[in-house]
């Protein structure tokens, strides 16, 4: 029999009751409005007919699949941010309706630069999280496996900095950023791994720290003397190791864990250090005046590339670099081979040994507001 609207004792909501294609339905509409409840009844009845004729794939929506994906296992904060934007765009769209055209429109609507965004941005912020949800759903037979066009990312040159350039940037950084930048370039961890690092995972005596990788695994990293000195100088020993700073060069505590949190501080340090870059003009949200800001050529993630380049320069061992850097395949790390001349070896060792910061260590790590 078709679904009917009924009322129950001690409940202000309307309920639907009945059988569609042999399936018994007894559920709340979640509304006290008769008109809205009737719309719910009609939509629910149509869904059940669709499911009986075309199968479960015809009715599963993106919010349903996304909720199940998040509940299946822990996801990183960055992943959750990307997924929230996808949910805001797709809303109640059924999985079977998401194709290449919908993906192209998602690029345009979600990304700041729309369709003109870089291939890497499209891949990182939209395609990768969307594909993860749809692959998850496909394994449960809620939809077919996704078949999207992958943005073609041009091969870039391996970006790294020399010891003197790193020293200049750190010298010009705000006091609270210096330990973080030293830690990144001395250990090779990702910015997200460093910002999520808890003191409970740091063994100062053993010169080790345990970081949580984006792949969902833990990795033990060695703390060279310069990183050890930077951590010892920090005043706290509980909670997060690296905490938000203050002032224009501070980094935010907005739930994100990435290099974007200290983008301003990094850009300011690079500008004062005379590093390459360009200026752009923009109107910040909520403002009417044009603001001119420096955009450095290098990014915080390039500190990881720098560490890897330095590592191979010192050890000439790709397998060791792969293991200590937490990469999954040897092919990824071959890009760092033979890109930095051996002549830089002594300067790299001097940096990692902390000898460049041996004088006035206490004043060097003081917070500069």
What HEC string does 47-68 produce?
A: HHHHHHHHCHHHCCEHHHHHHH
Name, in order, each residue with C-beta under 8 angstroms of 266's C-beta and a sequence gap of 6 or more.
Answer: 173, 177, 181, 259, 296, 299, 300
Beta strands in 130-216 (DSSP E): 202-203, 208-212
169 and 301 assigned to the same domain: yes
Cα–Cα distance between 318 and 92 in angstroms, integer?
47
180 and 121 assigned to the same domain: no
Stated pTM of the model: 0.63
Task: Return the pLDDT at 82.
Answer: 93
Task: Return the pLDDT at 26.
Answer: 79
- Reported as a pLDDT band with limits 50, 70 and 90, residue 43 is confident
Task: Return the pLDDT at 336.
Answer: 87
Higher-scoring residue by pLDDT: 145, 366? 145
Q: What are 350's two structure tokens? A: 């001097």
Percent of the chain with pLDDT over 70: 86
243 and 341 assigned to the same domain: yes
pLDDT average, residue stretch 125-145: 92
Task: Return the pLDDT at 47.
Answer: 67
> What is the side-by-side strand order in the sheet with 218-222?
202-203, 208-212, 218-222
Cα–Cα distance between 313 and 336 in angstroms, integer?
9
Q: Which of 84-98, 202-216, 282-296 has the lowest mean pLDDT?
A: 282-296
346 and 301 assigned to the same domain: yes
271 and 181 assigned to the same domain: yes
80 and 192 assigned to the same domain: no
pLDDT tens-digit profile of 234-291?
A: 988 999 999 765 444 555 555 444 555 788 899 999 999 999 999 988 777 777 788 8
Residue 343 burial (C-beta neighbours within 10 Å; 0-12, 13-18, 19+): exposed
Task: Return the pLDDT at 10.
Answer: 82
204 and 338 assigned to the same domain: yes
111 and 218 assigned to the same domain: no
For all residues of the chain together, what is the average pLDDT?
85
Name, in order, each residue with C-beta under 8 angstroms of 202's C-beta and a sequence gap of 6 or more.
Answer: 208, 209, 210, 231, 241
pLDDT tens-digit profile of 160-182?
A: 999 999 999 999 999 889 999 99
198 and 274 assigned to the same domain: yes
Tally of domains in the chain: 3
Quick one: CA dihedral 316, 317, 322, 323, positive or negative?
negative
Give the burial string for 133-169 (b: 16+ CB within 10 Å, else e). bbebbbeeebbeebebeebeeeeeeeebbbbebbbbb
Cβ atoms within 10 Å, residue 26:
12
In a domain, 230, yes or no: yes
In a domain, 64, yes or no: no
Cα–Cα distance between 265 and 293 in angstroms, integer?
12
In a domain, 59, yes or no: no
The yes-or-no verdict on residue 128 having pLDDT over 70 is yes
Q: Which of 46-50, 228-232, 233-237 has the lowest mean pLDDT?
A: 46-50
Cα–Cα distance between 165 and 93 in angstroms, integer?
50
Angle (CA) 234-296-163 rounded to 5° is 55
Task: Return the pLDDT at 357.
Answer: 61
Task: Return the pLDDT at 368.
Answer: 35
CA distances from 24 to 19, 45, 64, 178 (A): 4, 11, 21, 64
- Reported as a pLDDT band with limits 50, 70 and 90, residue 363 is very low
Task: Return the pLDDT at 167.
Answer: 94
- Reported as a pLDDT band with limits 50, 70 and 90, residue 131 is very high
Length of the chain: 369
Task: Return the pLDDT at 281.
Answer: 83
In a domain, 149, yes or no: no
Cα–Cα distance between 104 and 130 in angstroms, integer?
12
Q: Which of 20, 31, 18 is nearest to 59 (CA)?
A: 20
Structural domain harbouring 26: 4-54
Beta strands in the chain (DSSP E): 4-7, 14-20, 23-28, 202-203, 208-212, 218-222, 277-282, 291-296
Q: Which of 193, 194, 176, 159 is nearest to 268 (CA)?
A: 176
129 and 185 assigned to the same domain: no
18 and 112 assigned to the same domain: no
Cβ atoms within 10 Å, residue 24:
8
Q: What are 303's two structure tokens? A: 């500190």
């Amino acid at each position: 029999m078709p679904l009917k609207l009924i009322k129950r004792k001690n409940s202000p909501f309307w309920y639907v009751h009945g059988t569609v294609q042999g399936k018994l339905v007894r559920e709340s509409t979640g509304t006290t409005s008769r008109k809205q409840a009737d719309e719910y009844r009609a939509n629910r009845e149509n869904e059940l007919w669709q499911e009986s004729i075309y199968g479960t794939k015809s009715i599963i929506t993106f919010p349903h699949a996304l909720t199940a994906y998040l509940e299946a296992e822990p996801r990183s904060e960055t992943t959750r941010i990307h997924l929230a934007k996808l949910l805001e765009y797709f809303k109640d769209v059924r999985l079977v309706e998401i194709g290449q055209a919908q993906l192209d429109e998602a690029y345009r609507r979600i990304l700041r630069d729309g369709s003109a965004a870089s291939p890497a941005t499209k891949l990182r912020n939209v395609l990768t999280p969307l594909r993860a949800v749809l692959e998850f759903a496909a394994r449960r037979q809620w939809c077919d496996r996704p078949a999207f066009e992958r943005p073609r990312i041009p091969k870039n040159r391996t970006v790294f900095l020399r010891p003197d350039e790193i020293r200049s940037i750190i010298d010009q950084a705000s006091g609270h950023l210096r330990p973080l930048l030293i830690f990144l370039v001395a250990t090779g961890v990702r910015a997200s791994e460093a910002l999520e690092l808890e003191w409970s995972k740091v063994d100062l005596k053993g010169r080790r720290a345990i970081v949580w990788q984006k792949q969902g695994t833990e990795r033990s990293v060695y703390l060279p003397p310069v990183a050890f000195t930077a951590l010892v100088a920090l005043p706290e020993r509980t909670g997060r190791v690296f905490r938000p700073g203050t002032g224009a060069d501070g980094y935010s505590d907005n739930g994100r864990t990435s290099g974007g949190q200290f983008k301003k501080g990094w850009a300011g340090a690079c500008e004062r250090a005379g590093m390459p870059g360009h200026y752009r003009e923009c109107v910040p949200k909520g403002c009417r005046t044009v603001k001119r800001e420096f955009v450095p050529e290098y990014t915080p993630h390039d500190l990881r590339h720098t560490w890897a380049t330095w590592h191979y320069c010192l050890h000439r061992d790709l397998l060791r670099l792969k293991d200590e850097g937490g990469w999954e395949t040897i092919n990824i790390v071959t890009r760092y081979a033979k890109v930095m001349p051996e002549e830089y070896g002594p300067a790299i060792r001097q940096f990692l040994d902390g000898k460049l910061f041996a004088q006035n260590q206490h004043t060097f790590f003081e917070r500069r507001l």
